[in-house]
């Protein structure tokens, strides 16, 4: 399961697929006290089709000083999960059921940026390709996430 904030149960809050009409500050507030906050992940843009976020390398490294592969995977799952939750809409939720990650290069400092783009937006599943890049725009990690939409 992922750290995806739950959808609002109020059907009047929005249409299916619009993320329950939650604002970006609402989503940010829902991340307080979670792994998302502890890793310094910030969400910049959010829709069911496309999410952009960043994460600092500092504090998310392995003993050799490189960005931890699990941190890249956590960033990818966070971005894809937020998008899937926006797709799920009010009264429904999205949970991760499959994640893969290919690591292309190491990063020692700065901030990495992730972009999740929808590959499939269905009634019961949503899939995303997430590309994580360094500050020079070089690909650090490519992930794919599939979420089940329930509720």
Q: If you search the block for the tokens 């307080």, which residue do you land on?
A: 32
- Which residue among the candidates 77, 109, 129, 135 is catalytic per the annotation? 77
Give the residue from 83, 86, 141 showing the smallest Cα distance to 114: 141
Host H or E run for residue 86:
helix 69-88
Please provide the DSSP assignment of 59-82 as one string. Answer: TSB-TTSSBPHHHHHHHHHHHHHH
Task: Tell me if residue 77 is catalytic.
Answer: yes
For residues 35, 48, 118 and 107, what is the CA-based torsion angle, rounded to 10 degrees? -30
Catalytic residue annotation: 77
């Amino acid at each position: 399961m992922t750290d995806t904030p739950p959808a609002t149960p109020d059907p009047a809050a929005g249409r299916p697929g619009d993320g329950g009409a939650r604002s970006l500050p609402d989503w940010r507030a829902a991340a307080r006290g979670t792994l998302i906050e502890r890793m310094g992940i910030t969400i910049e843009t959010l829709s069911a089709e496309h999410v952009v976020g960043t994460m600092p390398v500092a504090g998310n490294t392995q003993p050799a000083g490189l960005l931890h592969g699990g941190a890249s995977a956590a960033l990818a799952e966070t971005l894809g999960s937020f998008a899937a939750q926006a797709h799920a809409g009010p009264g429904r939720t999205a949970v991760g059921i499959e994640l893969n990650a290919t690591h292309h290069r190491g990063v020692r400092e700065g901030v990495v940026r992730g972009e999740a783009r929808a590959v499939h937006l269905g009634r019961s599943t949503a899939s995303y390709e997430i590309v994580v890049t360094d500050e020079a725009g070089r690909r650090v990690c490519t992930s794919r996430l599939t979420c089940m939409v329930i509720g």
